[in-house]
Amino acid sequence: MLNPILDRFAERTPIPVMARSVLERCLNARQLDAWFETVAEEQYTRGLLFSTVFALMTAVVFRQQPSVNAAYQARSDDIGVSVTSVYNKLNGLEPTVTAGLVGFASERAEALIEQLGGAKPGPLPGWRVKVLDGNGLGGREHRLKELRTLGGAPPPGKSVAVFDPALEVFTALFPREDADTQERALWSAVVHTVRAGELWLADRNFRARAFIEQVVERKAAVLIREHEGLRWTPLEPIRACGRTTRGQVTEQRVRLGAAEESGGLALRRVCLQLDEPTRDGETTVSLLTDLPEAAASAATVAELYLTRWTIETAFLRLTVELRCEIDTLGYPRAALFGFAVAAVAFKVLAVVKAALRQVHGVERIEQSVSSFYLSTEMANLAEALDTLLDPEAGRVFQTLSTAVIAAWLLELAGRVNLRKYRNHPRGPKKASPKRKYDPRHLHVSVARILNERKAQRETKSP
């Protein structure tokens, strides 16, 4: 039985209530604190619960509060420790906790999306596609004493993320405190998450031969952009394989390793000769894959690689729709935890969109609904929900079965007025005209320019 206030919110503004129910279902305080006790090695719970730190960071990530300090100040009477204790907790969170949080949340979010039946069609039928990419955190404010005299930007860390484009969730995160870490240095941790039947897409930073071979050993497939440092030997001449919308496609069989070696892994080498060069001036994109030709033709492989950009779009959404980069968090562990909480919040949005897709259709949601407006309404009404609702009001979502809560989410999705969240895609970007600079006029009056435009129109009109 829902709280009457929550029921009223669900009737009038279902999106924030859906998000609240997903958080209560997948990441409630009792779950988080129990999980933290099993994974933390360096920290322990004294007066500050892990769930409290997560709630503070969630408020910042969802843009309900501008900073951790502001989030703390809004709840200081309930927290019971100083803000210094909060920052000490954040600055000491182990990378294993940060990485584990993303996986912990992913399992629960994926179960809900599967029950909802709201996943998008996969890029390649019969395969679960995983996209792998690195993300370096941006430079922070020079707040640390040692940084105040340095001119260089101080990024507080780097991570490698795994993204599922069909579910629209980050399934795993591998953080490193050292921002100068090479992405390929993390592949050994990534490979342990590979499962049979998956197709792993990655750029040339993950071209390590051992990574490719170990993914294949795990009964998964790879599709990786070729790097000049990866040696291979041709097994046949290059042959033409038609074209895609972007250019001509060729293919040949190759074997990893130099010509004098034996026993190297056999792969397909697919090359796309671009009609238009990339922004870096490249005219050819060469790809290596072990996908069988029955599963994907050379042209399909070339088009499939474009799926890798879904993770770049997801990183952008973490920045625009949420707040994954918190400038005031300069310590690496705190900054990486903030990024991980943003990836977790992204899963909440993914579950909400899965329910909307199931009720209103995939095409309508993907083309017409803006995730930005969805997340904005979540943030705007979150404080009202926190203020008006008793903390126990969300307990009902913790006890319901997955099937029941999925049915309830679908019911709420049917109440959503999609016009409130309509997307407004912009047309092709036009080239900026060359500007005229007059040193005698360093600024212009907008009002005078508009008056001149009006006068010109009146002169032209009959």
**pLDDT, average across residues 47-56:** 92
Instruction: Report the alpha-carbon distance of residue 2 to residue 390 in Å, rounded.
Output: 12
The whole-chain average pLDDT of the chain stands at: 90
Q: Are 203 and 224 in contact (CB under 8 A)?
A: yes
The pLDDT score that the predictor gives to residue 120 is: 92
The pLDDT score that the predictor gives to residue 43 is: 75
pLDDT tens profile 344-370: 999 999 999 999 999 999 999 999 999
pLDDT tens profile 248-297: 999 999 999 887 787 789 999 999 999 988 888 889 999 999 999 999 99
Low-confidence winner among 149-163, 280-294, 368-382 (lowest mean pLDDT): 149-163
Pick the closest to residue 391 from 112, 61, 102, 75 (CA basis). Answer: 75
Is residue 42 over pLDDT 90?
A: no
Domains, the chain: 1-118+322-432 (no CATH), 125-320 (3.90.350.10)
The pLDDT score that the predictor gives to residue 315 is: 94
Rg (Cα) of the chain, in Å, rounded?
25
The pTM of the full predicted model, rounded to 2 decimals, is: 0.89
Low-confidence winner among 46-60, 386-400, 405-419 (lowest mean pLDDT): 386-400
Other beta carbons within 10 Å of 317: 18
**pLDDT, average across residues 189-208:** 91
pLDDT tens profile 66-96: 999 999 999 998 898 999 999 999 999 999 9
Instruction: Report the alpha-carbon distance of residue 462 to residue 456 in Å, rounded.
Output: 12
Q: Is 255 helix (H, G, I), strand (E, B) or coil?
A: strand
Instruction: Report the alpha-carbon distance of residue 190 to residue 290 in Å, rounded.
Output: 19
1 pLDDT band (50/70/90 cuts)? low
Pick the closest to residue 141 from 153, 159, 158, 124 (CA basis). Answer: 153
